[in-house]
Amino acid sequence: MGRPWKIQGWQMTEPGKMEKVTIDVPALKPGEVLVEIAGCGVCHTDIGYFYNGVPTVTKSPLILGHEISGRVVAGAEDMLGKEVIIPAVMPCNACPICAAGRGNRCLHQAMPGNSLGVYGGFASHIPVPARDLCVVENRQDLPLEQLAVVADAVTSPYQAAKRADLQAGDLVLITGAVGGIGTYMTQIASVLGAREVVAVDMVAPKLERSLRYGATFTINTTEKGVQEVREEFRAYCKARDLPAFGWKLFECTGTRMGQEICLELLWFIGKMIVVGFGTHKVEYMLSRLMAFDAEIIGTWGCLPRYYPEVLQLVLDRRIQVEPFVEVKPMGDIQSVFHDVHGGRLPKRVVLTPDF
């Protein structure tokens, strides 16, 4: 590889504990490259692994982080020097699930910070398969580190839109619309031509801001129950002469409240798409799906083939990332994790290596 590369990173030794480590770069296999990391976003999935004991495929110790952008510094010569985004999930492309076109949920997928051995994005370098890397070209003044959020926060909502068969003219409601995923779900719904995009959340300033980034109406859930949200939604539909049926409901919170709101609003020929991860259980009468001819759909990650078109939307500024990203040095990782876990940060944090 030309020089004795070392990987410096922050390793989760067990849930709730991490330490700074230096490890050798393994011999690259055919088809692999070494990426020098420019930035890695802090996702709530990482927080679930670290604080809540959500299991990872590779057991501790491992380096977390799956939202990565960087530059190829070793491996295939035709990739050297290229700026890339690493898909958060990289399918095997050789199993029945991949053959069915659902490789984003491939059981053999490589996911940095989970199922890619001990390697993750909160580090200086990462070895990865080259086949699904998304090459960044003509990014102009958009910092490469900020584009790390394309690896998950932007592409996962795009995959959700594809699973929902989101079409121009559709009616869309998003719970958790101002969070790390919901912010982009709102923009994507608008970019894909949704007729209405109702943003549901509980942070008033962010809800107001969402009206500048795709939302057509907002519902603040603060001190409201599910039925109150339902009545406000129905009143909006009546005032706008909109049907209450046929809505596509994107649940991006992973919380019981968010899930219950979507289930309550799921009506005739509607679809509920579960985007946010949570460990709560909710009660729902499944016969309502039959009676309403409605659907509940799960979605996971994003197929690598969608990355170039999502990236282009970002580079064209049709999807905005800069107002929603804050860059911090990777040395602050423990305090950042603490603040994200406590809900104290207004933007998604991207950590940049400072080893």
Instruction: Specify the CATH number for the domain of residue 223.
Output: 3.40.50.720
From 281, 298, 315, give the residue that closes a domain. Answer: 298
- The count of structural domains within the chain is 2
Task: Give the residue carrying structure tokens 């759909």.
Answer: 297
Same domain, 27 and 94: yes
Same domain, 102 and 166: no
* In a domain? residue 1: no
* In a domain? residue 215: yes
Tokens (6 digits) for 37: 């990391």
* In a domain? residue 214: yes
Same domain, 182 and 143: no
Q: Are 347 and 191 in contact (CB under 8 A)?
A: no
> Whole-model pTM?
0.95
Same domain, 59 and 113: yes
Judged on CB neighbours under 10 Å (0-12, 13-18, 19+), 141 is: exposed
User: CA quadruple 224, 229, 231, 236: dihedral positive or negative?
Assistant: positive
Tell me the C-alpha to C-alpha distance, in Å, between residue 23 and each of 9, 62, 124: 8, 11, 11
Give the range of the structural domain holding residue 55, as residue numbers without chain letter: 6-152+302-352
Q: Which of 9, 7, 12 is nearest to 48 (CA)?
A: 12
Tens digit of pLDDT at every position of the chain (355 positions): 445 579 999 999 999 999 999 999 999 999 999 999 999 999 989 999 999 888 999 999 999 999 999 999 999 889 999 999 999 999 999 999 999 999 999 999 999 999 999 999 999 999 999 999 999 999 999 999 999 999 999 999 999 999 999 999 999 999 999 999 999 999 999 999 999 999 999 999 999 999 999 999 999 999 999 999 999 999 999 999 999 999 999 999 999 999 999 999 999 999 999 999 888 899 999 999 999 999 999 999 999 999 999 999 999 999 999 999 999 999 999 999 999 999 888 899 999 999 9
Find the largest Cα–Cα distance for the chain: 67
Same domain, 272 and 311: no
Same domain, 162 and 287: yes
Same domain, 183 and 118: no
Report how far residue 130's alpha carbon sits from residue 49's, in angstroms, rounded to the nearest whole number. 26
Same domain, 272 and 331: no
Same domain, 143 and 40: yes
Same domain, 92 and 45: yes
- State how beta strands 125-129 and 32-41 pair: antiparallel
Q: Are 300 and 111 in contact (CB under 8 A)?
A: no
Rg of the chain over all Cα atoms, to the nearest angstrom: 20
Instruction: Specify the CATH number for the domain of residue 34.
Output: 3.90.180.10
Tokens (6 digits) for 149: 């959020």
Report how far residue 105's alpha carbon sits from residue 140's, in angstroms, rounded to the nearest whole number. 33
300: helix, strand or coil: coil
Same domain, 216 and 266: yes
* In a domain? residue 191: yes
From 252, 270, 298, give the residue that closes a domain. Answer: 298
